[in-house]
Amino acid sequence: MNDLRQYFHKCFNKNKNNDILIYPKHIAFIMDGNGRWAKSQNKERTYGHSNGVNNLFDIFNKCFVNGSTYLTFYVFSEQNWKRPDEEIKNIFNIIYKKLKIYYLAHEAMKYRIVVQGKLDKIPKKLKKLLLKLMEETKEYEKTIILCIDYSGRNEILNTCQNLMNYNLEPTIENFSKNLYVPGIPDPDLIIRTSGEKRVSDFLLWQLSYSELYFTDVYWPDFNINELDKAILDYSSRQRRYGGIL
């Protein structure tokens, strides 16, 4: 099935330069650079966060139309609680407003919403909306995973605790089944914007064989043309998983 899928995209999925683009099943995004983008325009950091959500629906559509099934976004890390209270409040308000728009349209768009992380510290109205979205979209296939109050290290610690609590053998299969969101395939491609070349506590268990793509473009400027560049780079790679092709 995977070979047929790649053959289909090699035949039909090309960009404006006629380059072959193979969209992977699961793409994860580290959306970095909102604050620096705002600063480069002599604006407050919140201006960057507000503009950082503008291209999301275009990215959803582009990826899902071209064969991806799972998209993961690093929305708010556990370390982000160190930021000023006003900035945190603004970030959660922006997330809430964008999700509210999606909630009104989800029956037409049919994207499943999943949260990977913790919900106990986020604003009550956002938590309520997320729980409602997760319940009402759970049957949809195309999946958007939102990493909120997320730490890859703490996910691993939490999973280890689950294995001990349930007296489970520490196998790779059991470990994967006890992650925050079991049943999600590991990301094929992780894209990080803003020029930083690190993973910042993101999906530490899941990224063992992910392809990594780093771009200097700040997240608010990461549009579908920039996405095509990332996918073109990914399409040129050979994934051997330790074997020989």
Longest dimension (CA), the chain: 55
Residue 245 scores a pLDDT above 80: no
* Cβ proximity of 6 and 166 under 8 Å: no
For 223, the domain range is 23-151+187-235
Task: Evaluate whether residue 161 is within a structural domain.
Answer: no
Residue 14: what pLDDT? 65
The predicted structure's pLDDT at residue 78? 98
Query: Do the domain assignments include residue 203?
Result: yes
Q: Are 227 and 62 in contact (CB under 8 A)?
A: yes
Q: Which residues are catalytic?
A: 32, 80
60 in a structural domain: yes
What does each C-alpha distance from 228 to 22, 29, 151 come to in angstroms? 10, 14, 28
Whether residue 180 lies inside any domain: the answer is no
Question: Does any domain span residue 88?
Answer: yes
Percent of the chain's residues with pLDDT above 70: 92
pLDDT value at 3 more than 60: no
Residue type at 148 in one-letter notation: I
- Check pLDDT > 70 for residue 18: no
- Does 89 fall in a domain? yes
Is residue 5 one of the residues assigned to a domain?
Answer: no
Which pair of tokens denotes residue 68? 């991806």
Does residue 56 have a pLDDT over 80? yes
Express each pLDDT in 62-107 by its tens digit.
999 999 999 999 999 999 999 999 999 999 999 999 999 999 999 9
Where residue 130 sits, what CATH number does that domain have? 3.40.1180.10
Helices 124-136 and 85-109: angle between axes, nearest 10 degrees:
20
- Which pLDDT value is given to residue 214? 98
18 vs 85, residue with greater confidence: 85
Q: Is residue 66 part of a domain?
A: yes
The side-by-side arrangement of strands in the sheet containing 189-192 is 112-117, 143-150, 70-77, 26-30, 189-192, 211-214
> Over the chain, what is the mean pLDDT?
93
The helix (H) or strand (E) run that includes residue 74 is: strand 70-77
pLDDT band at 215 (very low <50, low <70, confident <90, very high): very high
Residues 180-201, mean pLDDT to the nearest whole number: 98
pTM for the full predicted model: 0.92
pLDDT of residue 20: 84
How many domains does the chain contain in total? 1
Summary count for the chain: helices (H), strands (E) = 9, 6
Please report which confidence band the pLDDT of residue 241 belongs to, taking 50, 70 and 90 as the band edges: confident
**How many other β-carbons are positioned within 10 Å of the β-carbon of residue 75?**
21
Q: What is the pLDDT of residues 115-171, one digit of tens each?
A: 999 999 999 999 999 999 999 999 999 999 999 999 999 999 999 999 999 999 999
